[in-house]
């Protein structure tokens, strides 16, 4: 598997990409968090809805299938997938508000709720067993999930023949320690990503057969740079300005993403996409 392309190439990709349409109204900057403005409301994946659909396209989803979706932004991502593919989604997010039970049916029935949101505990993952046809995991290691615990729990939740897409960062085996690694961990408020070797071993030990492993570093860098370019352009054209607190949050967010991209470019981290099936 080739290493990630340099960020220079990613920057070139951003320059060649079609410009995003300008917003219809000035960007609201009341919120100190900037993730919604970068990736889309409720999402935590660079590339936003387009990236979510690209990952979901690897799975044979339909209105007759169910999907286990785990990771930050899982609820928003689940709504995107359910609307586009019609699948029933069990979304597990550390920050999700659980879906309330439906009210008693009176008169005309409302359309069924296709996305069921629930919180999950990354250090002790547990899902309803044998319920889901397929699984999509969006950076689950970011919240502290360990591959030897997470992947068996996911396998137990799936039906025979299920397919899985896992998208996450791993530490490259044998890579030199980057001095920015510790600061990046603090900026993203996370533990160290698992080693690539450990993730591969856990994937196999959980009963998954690997079909494709793809390095997503270059595409990830391009999506991050494109989103930040768009956000800064909108901010520069907005008649209002962020408060000092909001500006500090923006700078911290930018530093965290720049550190992430630097670690990917240096080879210390790899952003990999696994596509496999349950043996």
Q: Which residues pair with 66 in a beta bridge?
A: 88
In the chain, the percentage of residues whose pLDDT exceeds 70 is 82
Please check whether residue 44 is in contact with residue 259, taking contact to mean a CB–CB distance below 8 angstroms: no
- pLDDT for res 107: 52
Q: What are the C-alpha distances in Å from 95 to residues 31, 42, 119, 236?
A: 17, 10, 7, 31
Tokens, residue 266? 């240096």
Is a pLDDT exceeding 50 seen at residue 271?
A: yes
What would the pLDDT profile of 150-196 be if each residue is shown by its tens digit?
A: 999 999 999 999 999 999 999 998 777 778 899 999 999 888 999 99
Is a pLDDT exceeding 80 seen at residue 102?
A: no
The whole-chain average pLDDT of the chain stands at 85
- pLDDT for res 7: 36
What would the pLDDT profile of 42-91 be if each residue is shown by its tens digit?
A: 999 999 999 999 999 999 999 999 999 999 999 999 999 999 999 999 99
- pLDDT for res 173: 85
- pLDDT for res 103: 56
Residue 28 neighbours by CB under 8 Å, 6+ apart: none
- pLDDT for res 150: 98
- pLDDT for res 129: 96
Task: Give phi and psi for 188, each to the nearest 5.
Answer: -90, -5
Q: How far is residue 118 CA from its own chain's centroid?
A: 16
Tokens, residue 6? 């340099």
In the chain, the percentage of residues whose pLDDT exceeds 90 is 70
pLDDT-based confidence at 10, cuts 50/70/90? very low
pTM, rounded to two decimals: 0.84
Is a pLDDT exceeding 70 seen at residue 249?
A: yes
Tokens, residue 180? 């920015």
Place of tokens 């990503």: 193
Task: Give phi and psi for 119, each to the nearest 5.
Answer: -80, 155
The secondary structure of 134-158 as a DSSP string is: EEEEESGGGGT--HHHHHHHHHHHE
- pLDDT for res 104: 53
Sign of CA dihedral 256, 261, 263, 264: positive
Residue 16: Cβ within 10 Å count: 8
Task: Give phi and psi for 132, each to the nearest 5.
Answer: -105, 145
CA distance 49 to 72: 14
- pLDDT for res 241: 86
- Could you tell me the end-to-end alpha-carbon distance of the chain, in angstroms, rounded to an integer? 23
What would the pLDDT profile of 208-232 be if each residue is shown by its tens digit?
A: 999 999 999 999 999 999 999 999 9
Place of tokens 């899982």: 74
């Amino acid at each position: 598997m080739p290493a990630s392309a340099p960020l220079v190439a990613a920057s070139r990709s951003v320059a060649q990409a079609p410009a995003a349409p300008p917003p219809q109204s000035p960007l609201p900057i009341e919120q100190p968090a900037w993730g919604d403005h970068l990736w889309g409301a409720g999402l935590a994946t660079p590339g936003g809805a387009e990236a979510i659909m690209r990952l979901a396209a690897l799975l044979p989803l339909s209105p007759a299938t169910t999907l286990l979706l785990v990771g930050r932004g899982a609820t928003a991502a689940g709504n995107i997938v359910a609307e586009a593919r019609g699948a029933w989604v069990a979304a597990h997010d550390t920050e999700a508000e659980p879906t309330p039970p439906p009210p008693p049916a009176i008169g005309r029935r409302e359309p069924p709720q296709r996305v069921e949101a629930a919180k999950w505990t990354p250090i002790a993952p547990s899902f309803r067993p044998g319920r889901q046809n397929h699984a999509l995991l969006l950076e689950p290691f970011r919240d502290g999930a360990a591959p030897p615990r997470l992947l068996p729990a996911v396998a137990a939740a799936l039906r025979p023949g299920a397919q899985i897409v896992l998208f996450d960062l791993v530490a490259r085996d044998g890579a030199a320690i980057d001095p920015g690694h510790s600061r990046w961990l603090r900026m993203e408020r996370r533990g160290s990503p698992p080693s690539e070797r450990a993730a591969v071993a856990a994937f196999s030990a959980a009963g998954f057969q690997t079909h494709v492993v793809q390095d997503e570093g270059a595409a990830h860098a391009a999506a991050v740079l494109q989103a930040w370019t768009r956000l800064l352009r909108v901010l520069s054209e907005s008649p209002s300005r962020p408060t000092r607190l909001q500006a500090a949050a923006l700078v911290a967010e930018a530093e965290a993403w720049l550190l992430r991209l630097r670690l990917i470019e240096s080879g210390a981290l790899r952003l990999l996409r696994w596509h496999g099936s349950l043996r």
